[in-house]
Amino acid sequence: MKRTLYTEDHEIYRQTVQEFLEREIVPHKDRWDDEGMIDRGVYGSAAQTGLHALAVPEEYGGAGERDFRYRLVVCEEIGRINALSFGLTLSVQDDLVLAYLADLTNNEQRKRWLPGFASGQLLGALAMTEPGAGSDLRGICTSARRDGNSWVINGQKTFISNGISADLIVLAACTDPDAGSRGFSLFVVERDTPGFDRGCRLDKIGLSGQDTAELFFGDARVPAENLLGEEGRGLQYLMSHLPRERLGITAMAIGSARAIFDATLEYCKQRSAFGRPISDFQNTRFELATMATELDLAETYVDASVRAYNEGTLSPVDAAKGKWWITELQRRVIDRCLQLHGGYGFMREYPVGRAFVDSRVQTIYGGTTEIMKDLIGRDLTR
């Protein structure tokens, strides 16, 4: 099925993305996974080439481009080279941290932080999750109290993507425990903040090149001018930015699933068993037909979601539908593709094996499948 989402400009951009990935990412991605960290200099190159921080306004060094179709192109091409650790790091920057900094900062804050983001010199992280608070944001216990010209922060965050490498942490904290949903605020915690410490890099089963860590705040003093947006509106800000975060996860999921399917289709044509290609067996054809149909239908929903986001009409519920359905589809497709590879699929040298472990978390972070279904169900029955 021919997609109509992209224009000629997007396809020209795709060529630029492909050239960059082949030159800067493909030769290093396996080493990054083995070492547990991506070379920091690659983000400057990505920004210079236009893969990163496109939405930063021109006056701060960016392109001022908010068309999400360009992000989708990047996700698709990263999926084709199976560099999901690098893809997640870019997603944290463009779909999470940058969205908050672009929307909530004042002029002084923009001058301080956006040029560094536009150049790839500053990396960010979003710190919401705690040991006792994941999808339930109202369970956040990290506290912030005003003390003169500072906020004093105490608490702990966990499972924070880019937790080791980040220069700026967008942090959610409770500023008034008696104010209910109006008792949370957002802060930007900078790298050398006194009282801010990072734990060890967490040992994940997948996405090995993408650093994830615990963060600790013990009387950490954050300047008052690092309050992001208005005090007491933190929960509202988090909820309003979830559609972009979940669309970013959806984009990475469909890009990876399509790429692994395409590679598996070629494998089935070339791999022989009992004297003929395994693509000649009816069961193989049935599996390929099922996956091809599901992916075509899913891409239709993704395309509609991207158009809605660009128009400012993508709802949290519609973003949640795409997030849970397409990440679960990604999981099913990659699992089936691994099965079709047989024993070779279990080898790290084959893309499907790496994608199998790297993609599993997609149904968890950004809101679990179960939370997405509950959100949708509550909207239907309220």
Catalytically active residues are 245
Do β-strands 124-127 and 168-174 pair in parallel, antiparallel, or remain unpaired? parallel
Can you tell me whether residue 301 is helix, strand or coil? Answer: helix
Rounded to whole angstroms, how far apart are CA atoms 72 and 160?
23
Under a CB-based contact definition with an 8 Å cutoff, are residues 197 and 216 in contact? yes
Q: Which of 324, 243, 336 is nearest to 286 (CA)?
A: 336
Q: Kindly report the CA angle at 91 between 87 and 93, in degrees rounded to 5?
A: 120
Q: Which residues pair with 223 in a beta bridge?
A: 150
CB pairs under 8 A, 24+ apart, for 291-299? 291/261, 291/333, 291/336, 291/337, 292/261, 294/329, 294/332, 294/333, 295/254, 295/257, 295/258, 295/261, 295/329, 295/333, 296/1, 298/254, 298/257, 298/325, 298/326, 298/329, 299/1, 299/3, 299/254, 299/258
Token pair, residue 247, equals: 């669309």
For 258, list phi and psi in degrees, rounded to 5. -65, -40
Rounded to whole angstroms, how far apart are CA atoms 134 and 339?
33
User: What secondary structure does DSSP assign to 310-358, as a single string?
Assistant: HHT---HHHHHHHHHHHHHHHHHHHHHHHHHHGGGGGSTTSHHHHHHHH
Determine how many CB atoms are found less than 10 A away from the CB of residue 88.
26
